[in-house]
Structure 1
Amino acid sequence: MGESTTTAVDGNQLIAKALARFGVDRMFGVVGIPVTSLANRAVSLGVRFIAFHNEQSAGYAASAYGYLTGRPGVLLTVSGPGCVHGLAGLSNAMANAWPMVMISGSCDQKDFGRGDFQELDQIAAVEPFSKFSAKAKSIKEIPDCVFQALAKAGWGRPGGCYLDFPSDVLHQTISEAEAESLLATAAEKFGESEKVLCVQNSQIEEAVSLLRHAERPLIVFGKGAAFARAENELGKLVERTGIPFLPTPMGKGLLPDTHELAATAARSLAIGKCDVALVINLGIKDDPFCLGKSHPWVAAISSKVKDNVSKMEAQLAKEVVPFNFLTPMKIIRDAIAGLGSPAPILVSEGANTMDVGRSVLVQTEPRTRLDAGTWGTMGVGLGYCIAGAVASPDRLVVAVEGDSGFGFSAMEVETLVRYQLPVVVIVFNNGGVYGGDRRSPDEISGPYKDDPAPTSFVPSAGYHTLIEAFGGKGYLVGTPEELKSALSESFSAQKPAVINVIIDPYAGAESGRLQHKN
């Protein structure tokens, strides 16, 4: 008789099994010692792994994926510096209240404190940036750790969680039967899909009373309501109450920007004069109440919106060459409108570029705008693009980026080409941070006065050639006709492309809202 054998499961495979059992189907990261096998095991179980060039961009992708899908985005990093680089994404998830789990390998437990390879107390390092963290000290702890982190990432106020797996634990083994038993137990303990925060009825009644007696009420909502998929309830609330609404930038599209009660174009009036604001952070339940009266307030908002839109359209009607920010932004707006539904996911970052884009670019569908968000994070662009393309493969992704924002993660255009993702990156190239050398004469002195200004980049840099190095399509544009042609061709192809839009380096100005902070 032959001797019976039992299949052994190591720590890498058990983590992969736990991720797949919980429903994880995408993972972002950078592989290397000691987590390469973990990535390969996950792929073999049906988890698509998107490999990046650095953990920062991969972390931004994981955080945005959590927002777009409502399920935790997962980031995989190596130990030590890989974990530290990944903190950018983890902290971004916490600041924006998006569900995410960062998984890092770590050094052998027996060698900790001896200067082992990439040694770091990673649990201590992530503590300020995570709502929950756990370190598996043996293979048998893996299922509980994985299920608990994934569940807690989405419970209550969503956010980032962290898992630490020492290299010795990754190489420990147990039998397949024991692995299945541990997975089943963990699933039973932590398999609930959500635990939400509850609000007392008395608090709701108080809020309703305030709104009923308000003369100038306003509904404000943002990405929390978008994450909660609250667009239908919001629509009912606005229609039945007749209250004007103001979306935050990433709340744009929950209700169309073109809605008659949208106060986006009268933001200063709406915020400055409202007497009661209903701020919707996550979602709405129960039937909306009806105020049963019309408001002069609505007429005032509507009048201001029409006036401001008219002024903006007059500015947009002027074709300015060399480009200012408005002329190419209008061309992009019109090209996107021509795509119809499903609308593309729009990614935007930069100073002037993002600020102007918020005013000009129109959102008509929910969760189709990603920008610097709550933390004002720069460098999110390419990571967000990749998350958008992976989360919504039926949509084109269009990034409108300043050259400074693009530079944070520009190498990830190779990732776009490698996975053939339908992403068109439009770079507003004005030669630097805010553009041009804007120093006053008294700031140009000293032994290094002949150096470029701290805000300056190489003028008219060939960003479009970067993607061409990897087989993508690049466009250099400086006129309306060239931009229209590049947008038409790239939008139709739905393949990786970079459009390098040359902007007058002295057009626009530093964001007025932020100028006093610099």
Structure 2
Amino acid sequence: MIGAELIAETLRQLGVEHVFGIVGIPVVEIADACIEKGIRFIPFRNEQQASLAASIYGYLTNKPGVLLTVGGPGIVNALAGVYNANSNKWPLMVMAGSTKICLQGKGGFQELDQVSLMKPWAKSSFRAVLSSQIPQFLERAYWTSIADVPGTTYIDLPDDLIKQECYEDIRVMKFDFSLLSTITPELTRIKRTSELLKDARFPLLIIGKGAANASETLRQFVGTHQIAFLPTPMGKGIIPDASDRNVSSARSLVLKHADVVLVAGARLNWILHFGEPPKFNKDVKIVQIDTDAGELARNVSTLELGILGDVGRTMSSVSDQLNGHQFPALPKIVVELIEKREQALRQQEEIVNDDLMPSHTQALAAIRKHIPADANIVAEGARTMDLSRQSLYLCEPRQRLDAGTNGTMGIGLAYAVTAKLTEENKPLIVIQGDSAFGFSAMEIETLVRERLPCLIIVLNNSGIYNGVENPREYIPYTKKPLPSTALTFGVRYERISCSLGGTGYFVQKCKELDDVLKKGMEDMLSGKIVLINVLVKPHAKL
């Protein structure tokens, strides 16, 4: 066998089922060898999208995502997904082709010191120079990416090594992934946590996406102890949004009034205002559960208590210590505010004149009516992402994917590919703003080619955050330049879908929403890739 086949066989024995990437010299042979071995290779239109798709794979499957790129500009383009994986603590193994060993330092094709480039970004970064190192390095990189704190690992594969004859006997180790991530918490800290909660006037549980594997335990905890909970954007669905203990609609109020906050699978970063006043109660006692000791150390000045442990095991132990204790009913002021916010949302959703262009909120209400309750959702775009979080109700963990910890725009169709690959039998709805759609529009062709049906809904307000109120006052109708946030008014994005092998619909008025959404759902469920381009009010805030 040649080096490419050795790489593919090692990946197969490691249990790799999917490889994301884009081929070119010298990695074509690797991709083809993977296909021959029964590994599905998913070619994208650029490395940024491939890397983002690979980065979310670890979150959705609890297995490392695997990315294959060319060297030089290819690996540089892939840094977007590397950064995304690291910032979200998801496992990712990156393989890239590189200059022949004999030409190193001579200015070979796309030559770059990729091992040095990746070292600041990777948990390990190696260059194989002998064929005997290939299985060893791949195995080590694969397991290292998910061990301890998940992140990126990198393997550099020289051109001549990929193509040379190899005679290695491959035997890689297989073992239970859970052994790498399950940490049993200290009993003294569990007891202290239960004491703090019992003594609290208004305890609050904050749930982040890092608690997705502990969904069943958290549902039992909330059901047994009746504690109020607040999910982060990608933590939605770990406990169903419909729970009467969900206080998302009164977020600011509960953060100000909670005197003990238990943080499970979330970070005290910008999303949670760093756990600091004025957003949090100045006297709050925060207990954080995390498998990353570094994360707890970063918050040492904020925390009352840090627990190094698996979220599921920790919450189960805390529940045992609470011994059936139930927390008081939600304060009246919180209940009233939730009801007021829900009523305000319904008023914003109401359509008074169906001949007018819909607002974001009106369009999202129509979407909610037509999509299945268990549909997976990818949400992207500033206003679109934020408002969809309020309008669409989730009931399962990992049901909603969005820009994540670092607000990464461009994830939309990359995440869609991975979401559909990993849950083929679930309907997939992608809701994007028009600016966000522009980052990944060509990946519609990837969805079509890979036969991954989904419904893409572009809420098109002709801008980033917002367009302009009177488009005809600006270029191209006059010489007045558009503001930096504005895009061309009324772009027909659905025609892109049609040209790439999908289908498309255009909506300009409220009265068109129901019929088009119904037709779009039918088309998607019949196996098509569908794009509905909904023109929404360019300057509306809701």
Q: Compute the TM-score of the two structures, normalised by the length of structure 1.
A: 0.89
Residue 188 of structure 2 aligns to a residue whose secondary structure is: helix
The answer to whether 1:126 aligns with 2:154 is no
The answer to whether 1:200 aligns with 2:235 is no
* Distance in 2 separating the partners of 1:201 and 1:17: 44
Residues 27 and 466 of structure 1, relative CA distance in 2, 3 Å threshold = same
User: Can you list the C-alpha shifts for 1:298-354, whole angstroms capped at 9, x where unaligned?
Assistant: 554333322221221222123562221111010011112xx24xx111001111111
The answer to whether 1:483 aligns with 2:518 is no
Residues 51 and 319 of structure 1, relative CA distance in 2, 3 Å threshold = farther
Residue 101 of structure 1 aligns to a residue whose secondary structure is: strand
The answer to whether 1:452 aligns with 2:492 is no
Moved more, 452-461 or 260-269: 452-461
Any gaps of 5 or more consecutive residues in structure 2? 266-309
* Distance in 1 separating the partners of 2:350 and 2:509: 15
8 Å CA contact 2:6–2:166 kept in 1: the answer is: no
Moved more, 412-421 or 51-60: 412-421
The answer to whether 1:409 aligns with 2:440 is yes
User: Can you list the C-alpha shifts for 1:130-183, whole angstroms capped at 9, x where unaligned?
Assistant: 2222221211111111111111121122222222111122123222xxx33xx3
2:536 to 499, 503, 518: 503
Compute the displacement of 1:293 (Å).
4.2
Q: Tell me the amino acid that sits aligned with residue 362 of structure 2.
A: T
The share of aligned pairs that are identical, in percent, is 38
* Distance in 1 separating the partners of 2:184 and 2:10: 30
8 Å CA contact 2:206–2:261 kept in 1: the answer is: yes
User: Can you list the C-alpha shifts for 1:359-400, whole angstroms capped at 9, x where unaligned?
Assistant: 111111221100000010001001001111111000111111
* Distance in 2 separating the partners of 1:256 and 1:30: 38
- Equivalent residue number for residue 333 of structure 1: 368
The answer to whether 1:218 aligns with 2:204 is yes
Residues 319 and 21 of structure 1, relative CA distance in 2, 3 Å threshold = farther
- Equivalent residue number for residue 152 of structure 1: 144
* Distance in 1 separating the partners of 2:176 and 2:202: 45
Residues 192 and 409 of structure 1, relative CA distance in 2, 3 Å threshold = closer
* Distance in 2 separating the partners of 1:389 and 1:335: 19
8 Å CA contact 2:357–2:510 kept in 1: the answer is: no
The answer to whether 1:312 aligns with 2:338 is no
- Equivalent residue number for residue 371 of structure 1: 402
- Equivalent residue number for residue 241 of structure 1: 225
Alignment RMSD: 2.1
Residue 467 of structure 2 aligns to a residue whose secondary structure is: coil
2:501 to 471, 474, 489: 471
- Equivalent residue number for residue 298 of structure 2: none
8 Å CA contact 1:347–1:371 kept in 2: the answer is: yes
8 Å CA contact 1:335–1:487 kept in 2: the answer is: yes
Residue 493 of structure 1 aligns to a residue whose secondary structure is: helix
Residues 275 and 449 of structure 1, relative CA distance in 2, 3 Å threshold = farther
- Equivalent residue number for residue 357 of structure 2: 322
Compute the displacement of 1:45 (Å).
0.8
1:117 to 109, 119, 123: 109
8 Å CA contact 1:241–1:290 kept in 2: the answer is: no
Residues 198 and 122 of structure 1, relative CA distance in 2, 3 Å threshold = farther
The answer to whether 1:355 aligns with 2:390 is no
1:21 to 13, 17, 36: 13
Compute the displacement of 1:283 (Å).
2.4
- Equivalent residue number for residue 10 of structure 1: 2
8 Å CA contact 1:99–1:160 kept in 2: the answer is: yes
Number of residues of Structure 1 aligned to a counterpart in Structure 2:
481
User: Can you list the C-alpha shifts for 1:202-225, whole angstroms capped at 9, x where unaligned?
Assistant: 222222222121111111111111
* Distance in 1 separating the partners of 2:189 and 2:122: 29
Residues 451 and 314 of structure 1, relative CA distance in 2, 3 Å threshold = closer
Residue 482 of structure 1 aligns to a residue whose secondary structure is: helix
- Equivalent residue number for residue 280 of structure 2: none
1:429 to 451, 460, 463: 460
8 Å CA contact 1:151–1:193 kept in 2: the answer is: no
* Distance in 1 separating the partners of 2:166 and 2:215: 47
8 Å CA contact 1:132–1:162 kept in 2: the answer is: yes
User: Can you list the C-alpha shifts for 1:274-298, whole angstroms capped at 9, x where unaligned?
Assistant: 1111111162113523462442545
Residue 163 of structure 1 aligns to a residue whose secondary structure is: strand
Q: Tell me the amino acid that sits aligned with residue 162 of structure 1.
A: Y
8 Å CA contact 1:261–1:298 kept in 2: the answer is: no
8 Å CA contact 1:225–1:280 kept in 2: the answer is: yes
1:79 to 64, 71, 85: 71
- Equivalent residue number for residue 6 of structure 1: none
Moved more, 91-100 or 119-128: 119-128
8 Å CA contact 1:30–1:54 kept in 2: the answer is: yes
Residue 166 of structure 2 aligns to a residue whose secondary structure is: strand
Residues 258 and 296 of structure 1, relative CA distance in 2, 3 Å threshold = closer
Compute the displacement of 1:52 (Å).
0.5
* Distance in 1 separating the partners of 2:176 and 2:162: 23
Compute the displacement of 1:34 (Å).
0.6
Residue 164 of structure 1 aligns to a residue whose secondary structure is: strand
8 Å CA contact 1:260–1:302 kept in 2: the answer is: no
* Distance in 1 separating the partners of 2:108 and 2:523: 49
Moved more, 370-379 or 140-149: 140-149
Could you list the structure 1 runs, at least 4 aligned residues long, displaced by more than 6 angstroms after superposition: none
8 Å CA contact 1:98–1:158 kept in 2: the answer is: yes
8 Å CA contact 1:331–1:480 kept in 2: the answer is: no
8 Å CA contact 2:375–2:399 kept in 1: the answer is: yes
- Equivalent residue number for residue 249 of structure 2: 265
